Amino acid sequence: MSSQLSTTTATTDLGSQPRYAAIKAYIRAQIESGEWPAHFRVPSENQLAQDFNVSRMTARRALSELTDEGVLIRSQGLGTFVAEPVPAGSLLEVRNIADEVAARGHSYSNRILKLEQTEANTEVAVALGLAEGAAVYHSIIVHLDNDLPIQFEERYTNPTLVPEYLHQNFHAATPNEYLTRVAPLTEVDTTVEAIGADEAVGTALEIKQGTACLQIWRRTKSSAGTVSFARLVHPGNRYRLGAQLRF
Amino acid sequence: MSSQLSTTTATTDLGSQPRYAAIKAYIRAQIESGEWPAHFRVPSENQLAQDFNVSRMTARRALSELTDEGVLIRSQGLGTFVAEPVPAGSLLEVRNIADEVAARGHSYSNRILKLEQTEANTEVAVALGLAEGAAVYHSIIVHLDNDLPIQFEERYTNPTLVPEYLHQNFHAATPNEYLTRVAPLTEVDTTVEAIGADEAVGTALEIKQGTACLQIWRRTKSSAGTVSFARLVHPGNRYRLGAQLRF
DNA sequence: TGTACATTCTTGTATATACAAGCTTGTTGG
DNA sequence: CCAACAAGCTTGTATATACAAGAATGTACA
């Protein structure tokens, strides 16, 4: 505090990131490394301010933002604590799983199990608003986080709304990335349920049959109609879907 | 700015709410009344500071928080604008299971498996913002739809925020119904995951152990603090959680 | 013994100030 | 005409300071 004389009067950093971001990164690192477990009491604002040679308000900002992000829990008079880990984004953010994996600092990859053009059965036809027997793209992809399967994705896409070459290039990125780029989505219908893994899912995700999984049905529509119809399956113990709602 | 002399040097408000909250409320009201439509440019920090007779940092806080909450969009050099409305509800609607059952034209009932006052362990204490060992209400209730168990509910309630008689009357309706009536909720934290039923859940829901279930963690907060912390388990094949998202 | 009070932590609110940085607009000079 | 520059707005980062308020702990007094 008293040693805070001339050198720094304000000035955004040289490197690039703001100072509060450095503190946030530090705290996140401590938590992710296991150094600071859940319920661990993190240093106080004043302590952090001293350690990082910043003002209390800057240290405070780091703690406050992490609290907003659900990483920490604060309590007046008591202190700041590491929150229960909930490594997941909101329902909306599930869209691009590659980004999500990257955000965790892990490596993303995928395996294409099926990529074909086929005829819509009744269920698919209804979901996509097509006639039964109409041509649709069908794909099954497994998404991996650090080579660990975290999502099984089966998708039916409406070919009248998405050019064929996109389908052929799904492996380059995720289908959603392409789809959102080409056809701006106007509405997403999501249904969440729990299932026991069947044989196909179990094999793809490398888990035992019957293991509890989170299954997300998603129908995405653009202004022109229903674009695609997907079924996303996550192993229950490897994924958490978080949602924060304010009103 | 110059008119900011003696009367207020700092001091938290008399009434109750902080000043930035008043500004937030004002902005929200303008938006909700339709006065400020989407893409409308809201007053600048300096303008608001002047209008509300607060410092720029306080006005800034109101704008920043509303931005975090998705109500506004800010852009350096340009200004602050009203965001596209995102009526993402649905997850919230799961709250009152009795209503939901009634809406299906079925008969609602429940079984109380536990109803006690106990001491908070570390996990519960942190979730409720209480000290370890503090008194909390603990309840386990099974909800039935036409005598078929559809939800296992385990709940920890903060007794400082909810009078005791409410706890004793939980069976009359659902806890959530009481809680929302007594303490208007300001925020709900929801996490969804898939689990295999353990023994307690299996027995209560009359399903085999290991059956895939949807587990919803929910932390509800009011302005006074965290009200309760619940764990809701649904048999996977008997429940569907719908969410509609527009953007 | 035990309650009441003061101290000392903590986080929360609020202000005033400074400078950085992005964008628009107007002005000036080639 | 138009490119370059200078103002003048905006938001963004950072500091120093002040006081409020919740929670724990120790202490003194009845």
Q: Which residue has the higher pLDDT, A78 or A95?
A: A78
- C-beta neighbour count of B146 within 10 angstroms: 12
For chain A, give the mean pLDDT. Answer: 74
pLDDT at A216: 80
**And the tokens for B86?**
């995102």
Segment B189-199 shows an average pLDDT of 80
pLDDT at B99: 59
Rounded to 5°, the CA angle B37-B38-B42 comes to 75
Q: Which residue has the higher pLDDT, B13 or A110?
A: A110
Q: Is the confidence at residue A49, as pLDDT, over 90?
A: yes
Helix/strand/coil for A84: coil
Q: Which residue has the higher pLDDT, A191 or B139?
A: B139
Footprint of strand D, using CB within 7 A?
A 1, 4, 8-13, 18-21, 53-58, 61, 75-78; B 9-12, 44-47, 57, 60, 63-64, 74-80, 131
**CA-only gyration radius of chain A, Å:** 23
CA–C1' gap, B1 and D9, in angstroms: 18
User: One-letter amino acid identity for A112?
Assistant: I
Distance from the B204 Cα atom to the nearest Cα atom in chain A, whole angstroms = 18
Q: Which CATH superfamily is domain A92-238 in?
A: Chorismate lyase-like (3.40.1410.10)
B19-82: CATH architecture: Orthogonal Bundle (1.10)
Q: Which residues of B touch A (CB under 8 A)?
A: 68-69, 88, 91-92, 122-123, 126-127, 129, 131, 185-196, 210-215, 234-237, 239-247
Distance (Å, rounded) from C-alpha B136 to C-alpha B117?
6
Distance (Å, rounded) from C-alpha B219 to C-alpha B240?
20
The b-or-e profile of A188-213 (16+ CB within 10 A means b, else e) is bbbebbbbbbeeebbebbebeeebbb
**And the tokens for A217?**
């049905």
Distance (Å, rounded) from C-alpha A104 to C-alpha A150?
13
What CATH class does B91-238 carry? Answer: alpha beta
Specify whether the CB–CB gap between A209 and A196 falls below 8 A. Answer: yes
| List of residues 6+ apart from A124 with CB closer than 8 A | A130, A136, A156, A229
Distance (Å, rounded) from C-alpha A42 to C-alpha A56?
15
Give chain A positions within 8 Å (CB) of B215. 194
DSSP state of A56: H
The b-or-e profile of B104-138 (16+ CB within 10 A means b, else e) is eeeebebeeeeeeeeebeeebbbbbbbeeeeebbb
Q: Which among A73, A74, A100 is positioned nearest to A89, based on CA atoms?
A: A100
Segment A228-233 shows an average pLDDT of 84
Rounded to 5°, the CA angle B227-B228-B234 comes to 150
pLDDT at A181: 47
**And the tokens for A222?**
């653009």
Q: Which residue has the higher pLDDT, A196 or B193?
A: A196
- When CB atoms are compared, the residue of A194, A210, A240 closest to B191 is A240
pLDDT at A42: 95
* Domain ranges across chain A: 19-82, 92-238
Q: What is the pLDDT of residues B58-94, one digit of tens each?
A: 999 999 999 887 788 898 898 999 887 643 333 444 4
**And the tokens for B14?**
């008399």
Specify whether the CB–CB gap between B150 and B143 falls below 8 A. Answer: yes
Q: Is the confidence at residue B230, as pLDDT, over 80?
A: yes
Distance (Å, rounded) from C-alpha A107 to C-alpha B84?
33
**And the tokens for A189?**
């219908």
Distance (Å, rounded) from C-alpha A177 to C-alpha A109?
14
**And the tokens for B240?**
């569907």
Range among B23-37, B104-118, B231-245 with highest mean pLDDT value: B23-37
Left, alpha or beta for B148 (phi > 0: left; psi -120 to 50: alpha)? Answer: beta
Range among A97-101, A221-225, B164-168, B209-213 with highest mean pLDDT value: B209-213
CA–C1' gap, A18 and D5, in angstroms: 29
